[in-house]
Amino acid sequence: MIRAAVRVLVSNWDGGYTIPSRRLYPHQWSWDSAFVAIGNARWSPRRARTELLSLFGAQWYDGRVPHIVFNPAVPDGAYFPGPAFWRSRAPSGSATSGLVQPPVHALAAWKTHLAEPDVAFLRRIYPRLVAQQEFLRVARRSPEGLVSIVHPWESGMDNSPAWDLPLQAVEAGAAGFVRKDLDAVSADERPTDRDYQRYVALARAYRDSGYRDPGAFQVEDPLFNAAYGVAESTLAKIAAECGLDPAPHEREAASITAAMVEHLYDDGLFHARDVRTGCLVRSSSAAGLTPLLLPGLPREIVNALVGTALDRFALKDGVLPSYSPSAPEFDTARYWRGPSWINLAWLVWQGLKDRRPDLAAPLAEGMIAAVFGAGFREYFDPFTLRGHGCHDFSWSAALILDVVAEHGLEGVPAAGGEVGEQPGGFGEAGDVGDHVLL
Ligand code: 9WN
C-alpha cells in the first residue's frame, strides 16, 4: 500500500508540484498541494517543501493564494475553466484562477517541519502564510469576525447540498461553454449542468469585478473558518520556532473560535451562514464537524459534535460520509453530496486523535480499508466502499501515507485479497524504486 501510494505521487509529480489527477485535474490546486505535502513529508520532506513553496510562488500581491495555478505546458482546453476564462496572472507570471480554497497550508508547512526540522524553510514560508491570512481578513471578513467564501469552489466541497439554498440567488446564465469533467468521469458522479452554469456565472461575475466584489453568493463556511483558525494556531507555533511573537496568532485563533461558536454553531453541528441574508443555512454536511480541528473549542461543544458524528454520521463504523445519510439530500455517489473523501475524514481524524483516540482509530482504519479495497480513488461510497471519481488521486494517496505512518496498517483485512483488488483499483503493483530516494 505504501509503495502504491508513493507511485501515485511520483507519477502525478510535475517537476515542482503534484497534480491532483492526470485526466481530470491536470494543474496545481491549492488545498490539494497542502494535503499532498502532508503525505510527501512522510517520505520526502524536500518534495513537500518544494510543493508548498511552488504554490506560494503564485501568490498574488494582495496575499491571495489562487485555487488553481495553471501549467503552461497543458493545453488551455484540457480543463474548464482554463486560463483563457480566468484571465489572471500572478506576479510570478503564472496564469491562475482568482478564487481561493481552505487555508490548510500552515498546517501542512508545520507537519513538513515536524517530519524534518528546517527552520530556514519555516522562515521562508511564514510571511507568505501570514499574507494568505491577511488577504482573508482584509477582503473577506464580516462584522461578526468570520471569513466568507464567494464561490462553492472556494469551499473545496463544491457540490455540497449546503450550497443548494444560497445558490438559488444565482442566475444560471446562458451555457456557452463545454464541460471537460464529463470526458473523464460519469455524469451521475459530478454536479448537474444547472449547477455548473451557476458556478461559471458566479466565477465570471467575480472575474469581471477585478476579483474584488462578492457576487450573489457569499457564505461563511465552517470548514473554511476552521481551516483559518487552525492556520492561526499553527502560525503561533511556527512564529515561536522562528523566534517571533506567537501571541497575535493565538489571539486570532481564540477570536475566530469564539465567533464560530457564537454564529455558526447550532444543536450539535456547525453550519454555514449566508452573509447576504444573515441566516444560518442548516444542513447535514460533515464540514460542520471540522471545527474539531480547533484546539480551543469548548469541551461541551466537542462532546456535542462527537455525539452528532456518532448518531448522524455513523462514526463508529469508521467511514465518514461527506453528508449525513439520514438527510433526504444524501447521495452515495454524487460529488460531495454523501460519498466519503479521504481529506475530510483526515481532518476529522486530526481533530479526534488527542481528544477521542477511541474514535480516531476506527476512522483511520476506515480510510485504510477504503483504499485497500478500491485503490486511490477520488471518493468512496460510504456503505460499500466502492470507488468513485478519478483514479490515482493524489490526496487520497498522500493522506493514507500520513495515516499509516501514525496509525500503522490496522484496517487492512488480515487475510486474502490484494491491495486495490476491486476493478479499477491499483492495477498492477508498480515499483517506485529509485524515486523513493529522490
Ligand atoms: C474545482 C482538485 C479539486 C479539489 C476540489 C474538488 C474539485 C474542481 C472541479 O477538484 O474541484 O476546483 O473541477 O470540480 O471539489 O476540492 O480541490 O482535486
Q: What is the pLDDT of residue 188?
A: 83
Q: Report whether pLDDT(60) > 60.
A: yes
Q: What is the pLDDT of residue 378?
A: 97
The more confident residue out of 410 and 308 is: 308
pLDDT tens sequence across 396-434? 999 999 999 999 887 676 544 555 555 434 433 343 433
9, 24, 29, best to mutate for ligand 1 pocket (most atoms within 8 Å of CB)? 29
Mean pLDDT rounded to a whole number for the chain:
93
CA 262 from chain centre, in angstroms, equals 24
Q: What is the pLDDT of residue 10?
A: 97
Beta carbons within 8 Å of 168's beta carbon, 6+ residues apart: none
Q: What is the pLDDT of residue 434?
A: 32
Positions marked catalytic: 158, 378
pLDDT tens sequence across 243-265? 999 999 999 999 999 999 999 99
| Ligand 1 atom showing the smallest separation from residue 32 Cα | 17
As a whole number, mean pLDDT of residues 75-82 equals 92
Query: Per-residue confidence at 174, pLDDT binned at 50, 70, 90?
Result: confident
Beta carbons within 8 Å of 358's beta carbon, 6+ residues apart: none
| Ligand 1 atom showing the smallest separation from residue 378 Cα | 18
How many angstroms is it from 67 CA to the middle of ligand 1?
9
How many angstroms is it from 160 CA to the middle of ligand 1?
12
Atom 18 of ligand 1, residue of closest alpha carbon: 20
As a whole number, mean pLDDT of residues 33-51 equals 98
9, 25, 100, 179, best to mutate for ligand 1 pocket (most atoms within 8 Å of CB)? 25
Report whether residue 81 contacts ligand 1, using a CB cutoff of 6 Å: no
How many angstroms is it from 153 CA to the middle of ligand 1?
7
What is the Cα–Cα distance from 261 to 411, expressed in whole angstroms? Answer: 34
Q: Report whether pLDDT(438) > 50.
A: no
Report whether residue 156 contacts ligand 1, using a CB cutoff of 6 Å: yes
How many angstroms is it from 29 CA to the middle of ligand 1?
8
How many angstroms is it from 244 CA to the middle of ligand 1?
35
Q: Report whether pLDDT(49) > 50.
A: yes
Q: What is the pLDDT of residue 414?
A: 59
As a whole number, mean pLDDT of residues 10-25 equals 96
What is the Cα–Cα distance from 54 to 35, expressed in whole angstroms? Answer: 14
As a whole number, mean pLDDT of residues 211-218 equals 95
Q: What is the pLDDT of residue 186?
A: 83
Query: Per-residue confidence at 436, pLDDT binned at 50, 70, 90?
Result: very low
158, 336, 392, best to mutate for ligand 1 pocket (most atoms within 8 Å of CB)? 158
Cell digits for 354? 488527542
Q: What is the pLDDT of residue 193?
A: 86
Q: What percentage of the chain reaches a pLDDT higher than 70?
A: 94
Q: How many CB atoms lie within 10 A of CB 207?
A: 17
| Ligand 1 atom showing the smallest separation from residue 25 Cα | 2
Atom 10 of ligand 1, residue of closest alpha carbon: 25
Q: Are 34 and 108 in contact (CB under 8 A)?
A: yes
Q: What is the pLDDT of residue 420?
A: 58
Q: Report whether pLDDT(173) > 90.
A: no
328-364 burial, b for 16+ CB within 10 Å, e for fewer?
Answer: ebbbbbbbbbbbbbbbbbbbbbbbbbebbeebbbbbb
Q: What is the pLDDT of residue 413?
A: 67
Q: What percentage of the chain reaches a pLDDT higher than 90?
A: 86
What is the Cα–Cα distance from 311 to 325, expressed in whole angstroms? Answer: 10
Atom 6 of ligand 1, residue of closest alpha carbon: 156
How many angstroms is it from 405 CA to the middle of ligand 1?
26
What are the backbone angles phi and psi of residue 261, rounded to the nearest 5°?
-65, -40
What is the Cα–Cα distance from 80 to 92, expressed in whole angstroms? Answer: 22
pTM: 0.94
As a whole number, mean pLDDT of residues 384-406 equals 96
| Ligand 1 atom showing the smallest separation from residue 157 Cα | 15
Report whether residue 86 contacts ligand 1, using a CB cutoff of 6 Å: no
Query: Per-residue confidence at 156, pLDDT binned at 50, 70, 90?
Result: very high
As a whole number, mean pLDDT of residues 227-253 equals 98
